[in-house]
Amino acid sequence: MTKIKCLIVDDEPLAAGILEKYIGQLDSLELVFKCDNAIDALLFLQSNKVDLLFLDIQMPKLSGLDFLRTLSKRPKVILTTAFRDYAVEGFELNVLDYLVKPVPFERFLTAINKYHFSNGTALSLPPIISNTNLGISSEAFIYLKADKKMVKVFLKDILYIESLKDYVRVKTVEKEIVTYQRITYLEEKLPDEKFLRIHRSFLISIDKIRSFNAAFIEIGSIELPIGRQYKAEVMSTLTAQE
């Protein structure tokens, strides 16, 4: 497989270094030349073949955009800049992509993908690094007040919630918490994809349903009634789930 010949034009050495590193991480790319001004790039392009040009916009003497205008025969161009304001102008010059610094590696991959796509070549890209969250719990939870302390309850553990007027009983897989809270508040708070109001007094976890018929839902070891006014919505939700 012939590699894609890349040229980096950027007056900032650190910025150019990042791109160089990214290019090095992909087997399909090959860096053929790197320079810090448009004039050198022009000279290089006169005698060498380049497939893909990474071009900074703000550079001394000749800006990236002016440089592009002087080129009669252009390689595919990816603009790299810290300013978003040139995006429109860039696309008027028919560039492939527009990368705003700092450029995450994932974003760089997307741009390379566009190159492959525009050339109709099959892509062989490494799996994109998953965007793992630094700080947010992967399991959603709520805190409920019970016996003068706050108890953490994962949503996935909740079986159902029963309304006791101003209080609710939250039944989980392993325990039961009675807390001062209205069921409507919890209904608004908990995600619709996971929880379903089936009765004035019951909000259930959809995943925990064992069986259901037109009148009852079996959850855990208990059968809960479906309220008349909730029936239509319950049925449409549950049948859509299948």
Q: Residue numbers of the site for another protein (CB under 8 A)? A: 84, 100, 102, 104, 133-137, 139-143, 145, 148-150, 152, 155, 185, 188-194
User: Could you tell me which residues come within 8 angstroms of residue 106 by beta carbon, excluding any fewer than 6 positions away?
Assistant: 128, 129, 131
Minimum separation from the CB atom of position 160 to another protein (A): 18
Closer to another protein at the Cβ: 104 or 126? 104
Nearer to another protein, 133 or 211 (CB): 133
Total residue length of the chain: 242
**Residue 22 beta carbon to another protein: minimum distance, rounded to whole angstroms:** 12
Nearer to another protein, 127 or 191 (CB): 191
Nearest residue (CB) to another protein, 149 versus 165: 149
Least distance (Å) between residue 43 CB and another protein: 34
Spatial distance between the Cα atoms of 108 and 215, rounded to a whole number of angstroms: 55
Q: Least distance (Å) from another protein to the CB of residue 140?
A: 4
**Site of tokens 């790197």:** 34
- Minimal distance in Å, beta carbon 127 to another protein? 17
Which residue, 43 or 150, has its beta carbon nearer to another protein? 150
DSSP 91-141: HHTT-SEEEESS--HHHHHHHHHHHHHHHTPPP--PPPPP---SSS-SS-E
How far is 39 from 54, CA to CA, in rounded Å? 15
Q: Two tokens at 19? A: 């791109």
